[in-house]
Structure 1
């Protein structure tokens, strides 16, 4: 894949307005994305994995406080090479995406700075499936059974469809500038499993019923959203349940670090 056909990666590394994340406070840093997990800051990990994905060209980190992030070694190197730039974080996920997308070459791969377990192969799988589907927009999903295999004592709530349960992997695709309109779905922050009123606002009341009862397929739901926004939106099912585990709190921090220690060895004892 030559540079003209590579995608631009947005790494969402913002912070909540006026709130110090508990993990950041414990680690003595100003923002969650630089909290070390098995010895490496989360955003540094994600930047390494994204940069190692052969389908990714330019990288943008969308952040409120870039100086602390820019000190990370891989990020500093990518900045020096001119491959990575910063975009201004806004205090809303949709406006932050718009900020990151301004002037960027599409398509966009969007991921989050706490997606510590996604590998270059995971990003490559997602991009390949989006391209194969001709997606204008897409969301990465993992099967319930794969997530539970990766973290048996973890997540209990899933998006339920006719063909089973799925979890969000915090990986998104915008194939063109026109597809930015679909980002409005996330205006209130997503988390539809926890906040069903957001389903009503984004998708309508009947889709909430279908969603809660598991009556419809994920493909049908995405088709209905596609008609609303006038672009082809697709669900992309990924092969590894680890991709649905991000660092949201103390429990998921401990799970993620345990998995990384199995993969890499314990950085504390190295």
Structure 2
């Protein structure tokens, strides 16, 4: 295990209104949906809390205290490294505010409560790949997922040489990452305006990506140069890294994977 310590930002909020998946399972919050015997938030938080290299876990949610009232997450109240912050109306502003309030806590690992299959191997591989970056994003190549789970449907980002899906893991390695969050906030505010998205990264770069003229690494490097920072895309060789819980079908799949993991013998015994 890599020993360099980091701070975690764990996103556990939801968009305004009723979350369709939470409603489907009869829960007030998506993060509390039960998966294989415990809430999604508990799965992710327990993986992170078990790591000695995690300095602190900051849970961002609109009603964080209510999330920790659940029997399956109440243990987080007694975890000294866990704090809860209000995410408000803008998750981007909440992330940026957390970074500004904790300037000595870099680097940050950002993930989500529905990233239930997150494990140590994924985190360790991502840390190694993100080393030295101001900002990094973890992705899984399409052929990796389809080899393990044929027919599984994800949202794919097409580049020259391959298509990739996000793994809900981000590395915020220095205050330079705030530059990316500022752009993200601008796009968030004008997400229905294509011109705003194009303008955020430059029309030329956007067109090259749209026409698949750039590889994933090339596109990320160009974004970094444009913003004056070091940006990296880290490919993970684990199909499960890009399977989060957004739909009932995802829920069933993740439950099956977790139950299969639980039935495997402990290699240390």
Matched length: 259
Instruction: Give the direction of change, closer, same or farther, for the CA distance of 1:85–1:156 in structure 2 (3 Å limit).
Output: closer
Instruction: Give the direction of change, closer, same or farther, for the CA distance of 1:36–1:231 in structure 2 (3 Å limit).
Output: same
Instruction: Give the direction of change, closer, same or farther, for the CA distance of 1:11–1:156 in structure 2 (3 Å limit).
Output: closer
Q: Structure 1 CA distance, aligned partners of 2:124 and 2:33?
A: 26
In structure 2, the partner of 1:121 is 121
37-46 or 147-156: bigger deviation:
147-156
Poorly superposed stretches of 4+, deviation over 6 Å: 195-198
Q: SS at the partner of 2:101?
A: coil
Q: SS at the partner of 2:15?
A: coil
Q: Structure 1 CA distance, aligned partners of 2:93 and 2:73?
A: 23
CA contact (8 A) 1:13 1:112 kept: yes
Q: Are positions 1:107 and 2:107 aligned together?
A: yes
Q: Structure 2 CA distance, aligned partners of 1:130 and 1:214?
A: 24
Instruction: Give the direction of change, closer, same or farther, for the CA distance of 1:110–1:163 in structure 2 (3 Å limit).
Output: same
Matches within 5 A, 1:238-253: 238-253=236-251
Q: CA deviation at 1:65?
A: 0.9
Choose from 43, 66, 80 the match for 2:78. Answer: 80
Q: CA deviation at 1:91?
A: 2.0
Q: TM-score, normalised by structure 2?
A: 0.86
Q: CA deviation at 1:245?
A: 1.0
In structure 2, the partner of 1:268 is none
Deviations 1:139-195 (A, max 9, x none): 001111112234322225422222311111111011112322212343345xx9xx9
Q: Structure 2 CA distance, aligned partners of 1:202 and 1:169?
A: 23
Q: Structure 1 CA distance, aligned partners of 2:43 and 2:68?
A: 13
Q: CA deviation at 1:196?
A: 7.1
Q: Structure 2 CA distance, aligned partners of 1:257 and 1:59?
A: 25
Choose from 175, 178, 197 the match for 1:177. Answer: 175
81-90 or 195-204: bigger deviation:
195-204
Q: CA RMSD for the aligned pairs?
A: 2.7
Q: TM-score, normalised by structure 1?
A: 0.85
